[in-house]
A = this chain, B = another copy of it.
Amino acid sequence: MTATKVGIIGASGYTGLELIKILINHPFFEITYVATSSGGLKLDAMHPSLKDVFTCRVEKADSNEIIKRCDLVFLALPHQASMGFAKDLLNQGVKVVDLSADYRLDLETYEKHYCEHSDKEHLAQAVYGLPELYREEIKKSSLVANPGCYPTASILALVPFTPYINEDFPIFIDAKSGVTGAGKKSNDLSHYVNINENIFAYKVLSHRHEPEIKEKLLKFSSKNFDVNFVPHLIPATRGELIDAYMLITEDINPLEILKEFYKDELFVRIFDGPVDIKSCAGTNFCDIYAQVKGKKLYVNSAVDNILRGSSSQAVANANLMCGYDEHTALPTIAYVP
C-alpha cells in the first residue's frame, strides 16, 4: 500500500509536536512536509526530544509546495491563519484537518466570537471532527474541523444525557486545564511562578468554547441549552477536567446511560468513580463519570487536552478521511505514573 503523504503546518507549538510524535510511528501516513509560518530550524533543533528519533527541514509554509507534496495536511495554526491556507489547499484537492477554530462553527456564531470569515464556501462543507458523533460524515469529508479541547471533553460527557437534561435550567461547566492549553508562547500568564502553587478562573462566562459547546449540543439534540462555561488554569502541564452541573427531568441511572451510549466506542471509558487527568494523559481516551442526586446531575470527564483535545483526535479524523481504521496509531497507554 502506498503511504498517504501528510504535512504539518504549525510544527513549533505543542499540538504540532504531538502530531509529529504520533505520525512518526503511523503505518500508513508518511510525513512529507513540516512547516511553520517562518521556517528555518531543523525539527530536532526546535524540539530537542526528537534528537536521533526523527528530524527534517522545517519549511516556511507555502501553499504551492504543500499541494505538490501532500495528500492531506494538518493545520496547527491560530484561527484566521488557518482559513488562509485551507481555502487554496482544498481547491487543489488536498484534504485538510484544521486544528484551529476556523471551520468549527456556523458562520454567524464564528463571526460573533472570532472575526470575519474569508472562506464561507468551505465553512459550509466542513464536518465537526468528533468521531463518536460524526464518524460517517468525517469519512466522506475533505475538510474536518477538529473540535476544541474543552468542547471535546464537555460534549462527549453531556450528549448521552441530552434527552434527560432540563432545558429550563442552565448547565454550568467548571473546567480545569493544564498550562499547555494556554499555548507555548511565553507571557506573564504562563510564567512558572504565576502558575505554580496557584489556581484561578479566566474568561469567566466568556470563553469562545462556550458557544461551541452550545451549538454542537443544539445540533445533536435539537435542544437549545443554556451553557455556562468557566475555565481554570491549574499547575499541571497537560490534562483537562470537566465538572458539569445541571438538572434532569426524570430519574435516571447515569452510569448505565453512559455505558449504553458508548458501548461500541474504543476511546471513551466509563468509570465507576470520579475521573482524574493522570489516567488519561498521554492517550486519546475521554474518561467519563456521572452521578445523580435527586433531580441534579453531575457529569465529570477528563481528556489529555493536546491529544484527545487536539492532536490525537486530529489523527483519528485523518484516519477516517483516508479510509484507514480510525484507531490506527492512536495512543492508548497513559504516561502514568
In the bound complex, do residue B190 and residue A186 qualify as a contact, i.e. CB atoms below 8 Å apart? yes
Identify the stretch in A32-40, A61-69, A132-140, A176-184 within 8 Å (CB) of chain B at 4 or more residues. A176-184
Q: How far is the CB of A187 from chain B (nearest CB, A)?
A: 5
Give the distance in Å from the alpha carbon of A201 to the alpha carbon of B271 in the complex.
13
In the bound complex, do residue B201 and residue A274 qualify as a contact, i.e. CB atoms below 8 Å apart? yes
Q: How far is the CB of A301 from chain B (nearest CB, A)?
A: 11
Q: A198 is contacted by which of B174, B239, B298 (Cβ under 8 Å)?
A: B239
Q: How far is the CB of A203 from chain B (nearest CB, A)?
A: 9
| Closest residue of B by beta carbon distance from A170 | B296
Give the distance in Å from the alpha carbon of A51 to the alpha carbon of B234 in the complex.
23
In the bound complex, do residue A200 and residue B274 qualify as a contact, i.e. CB atoms below 8 Å apart? yes
In the bound complex, do residue B245 and residue A49 qualify as a contact, i.e. CB atoms below 8 Å apart? no
**Is the C-beta of A192 less than 8 angstroms from some C-beta in chain B?**
yes
Q: A49 is contacted by which of B14, B25, B336 (Cβ under 8 Å)?
A: B336
Contact string against B for A residues 23-57, beta-carbon threshold 8 Å, 1 for contact and 0 otherwise: 01100000000000000000000011101110000
Interface residues, chain A, CB within 8 Å of chain B? 14, 17, 21, 24-25, 47-49, 51-53, 169-170, 172, 174, 176, 178-180, 184, 186-188, 190-202, 204-205, 226, 228, 230, 232, 234-239, 241, 243, 245, 247, 266, 269, 271, 274-282, 285, 291, 293, 296, 298, 300, 306, 332-337
Q: 11 more A-B contacts (CB under 8 A) besides A53-B332, A169-B169?
A: A52-B285, A193-B237, A198-B239, A198-B278, A199-B234, A200-B277, A204-B274, A205-B291, A226-B296, A228-B245, A234-B234
- 9 pairs from A and B in contact (CB 8 Å cutoff): A14-B193, A53-B332, A169-B247, A170-B247, A179-B192, A193-B237, A205-B298, A234-B234, A235-B235
